[in-house]
Amino acid sequence: MNRDEIIEDLVNKWINKAEKDLLTAERELSFEDPITDIICFHCQQTVEKYLKAFLVYHQIYFTKTHRIMDLLELCATEDSSFKDELEDADNLTDYAVEIRYPDVWLEPGIEDAKEALEIAKKVKGFVLNKIKPGLTKEI
């Protein structure tokens, strides 16, 4: 594999993982009594992974982080529209870690979960439009 193929493969792996998170959130939201913290967590993960796919595509180094704004700022070094268009995605940062532990009680409501899903879908569309057409395989 040459360098471009390696990068393409890694970008597709990030997108594949992001799609699984998004699908999980969508499925859970379809239930009569959805578990909203799980939906919000998977929406945050979707956003994080799509942003990391963009960074990998542009070969921009990033450290291990769950902070959406940090990732948006890195993406903005390549394309300044990221911070303006996706600033609301940072609202999902709190769903990355804190929501998974019982000592911090954060129970998002159904509207919070729906909003998180809309943000995740918006980030997906935005990032996929920024990545060179044809790079990503059908998921």
- Domains of the chain and any CATH numbers: 3-130 (1.20.120.330)
Q: How far apart are CA 43 and CA 120, in angstroms?
A: 5
Return the pLDDT at 29.
97
Return the pLDDT at 107.
84
Mention every residue, 6+ apart, whose C-beta is less than 8 A from residue 35. Answer: 28
Amino acid code (one letter) for 101: Y
Q: Please list the alpha-helical segments (H only) found in the chain.
A: 3-29, 36-57, 68-76, 81-86, 110-130
Return the pLDDT at 49.
98
Q: What is the dihedral of CA 18, 9, 82, 96, to 10 degrees?
A: 30
| Whole-structure pTM value | 0.91
Residues of the chain short of pLDDT 50, as ranges, are 138-139
